[in-house]
């Protein structure tokens, strides 16, 4: 019998994939800006937060402790850095995509809440197959 995959595990992998794609796009844009205009504080902050977001994505793939916290905080930090970096330029597309990606990562990470990662067995509902009562012996005639 195949082991069912829970919605929480699918959401965990989806949140990691979204975060990794956004981190790689942000790193690519930051490296292009680095070669075009040189280093500044916002560019260094964007590279650091994109690397942190990629780390959170890798933590979610490995089901490491605190992956959800790292992922959401890094996505929020990258959104803030990108919003600050486009102040005065009027780049509404970058603002819209940054906010949309943050919301998408936060919503999908929230769907992977701790109680769903194992089918709800740790969310206060015990597994009915593990009641603590040893199974009865089969009747042998």
Q: Which residues form the domain of 70?
A: 7-112
Considering its fold, how many domains does the chain have in total? 1
CA pair distance 67, 54, nearest whole angstrom: 11
CB burial of 29-67 (b: ≥16 within 10 Å; e: otherwise) equals bbeebeeeeeeeebbebbbebbbbbbbbbbbbbeeeeeb
Give the pLDDT of residue 119: 45
**Looking at the domain assignment, is residue 129 inside a domain?**
no
**Which three-class secondary structure string do you get for the chain?**
CCCCCCHHHHHHHHHHHHHHHHHHHHHHHHHHHHHHHCCCHHHHHHHHHHHHHHHHHHHHHCCCCCHHHHHHHHHHHHHHHHHHHCCCCCCHHHHHHHHHHHHHHHHHHHHCCHHHCCCCCCCCCCCCCCCCCCCCCCCCC
Task: Provide the pLDDT for residue 89.
Answer: 81
Compute mean pLDDT per 10 residues along the chain, 141 residues long, and list them: 79 94 94 91 94 95 91 95 86 90 93 60 51 59 57
In a domain, 137, yes or no: no
Task: Assess if residue 136 is contained within a domain.
Answer: no
117-132 burial, b at 16+ Cβ within 10 Å, e below that, comes to bebeeeeeeeeeeeee
Asked, for residue 48, whether it belongs to a domain, the answer is yes
Instruction: Report if residue 131 sits inside a domain.
Output: no
Residues with Cβ < 8 Å from 102, sequence gap 6 or more? 75, 76, 78, 79
What is residue 120's predicted lDDT score, i.e. its pLDDT? 45
Is this prediction's pTM over 0.85? no
pLDDT for res 60: 93
pLDDT reported for residue 132? 58
What pLDDT does residue 107 have? 93
* Residue 108 domain-assigned (yes or no): yes
């Amino acid at each position: 019998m195949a082991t069912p995959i829970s919605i929480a595990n699918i959401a965990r992998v989806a949140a990691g994939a979204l975060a990794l794609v956004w981190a790689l796009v942000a790193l690519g844009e930051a490296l292009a800006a680095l070669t075009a205009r040189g280093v500044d504080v916002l560019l260094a902050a964007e590279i650091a937060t994109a690397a942190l977001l990629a780390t959170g994505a890798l933590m979610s793939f490995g089901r490491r402790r605190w992956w959800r916290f790292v992922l959401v905080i890094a996505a929020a930090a990258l959104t803030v850095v990108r919003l600050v970096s486009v102040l005065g330029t009027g780049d509404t597309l970058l603002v819209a995509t940054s906010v949309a990606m943050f919301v998408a990562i936060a919503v999908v990470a929230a769907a992977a809440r701790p109680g769903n990662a194992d089918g709800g067995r740790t969310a206060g509902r015990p597994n009915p197959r593990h009641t603590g009562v040893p199974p009865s012996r089969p009747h042998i005639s």
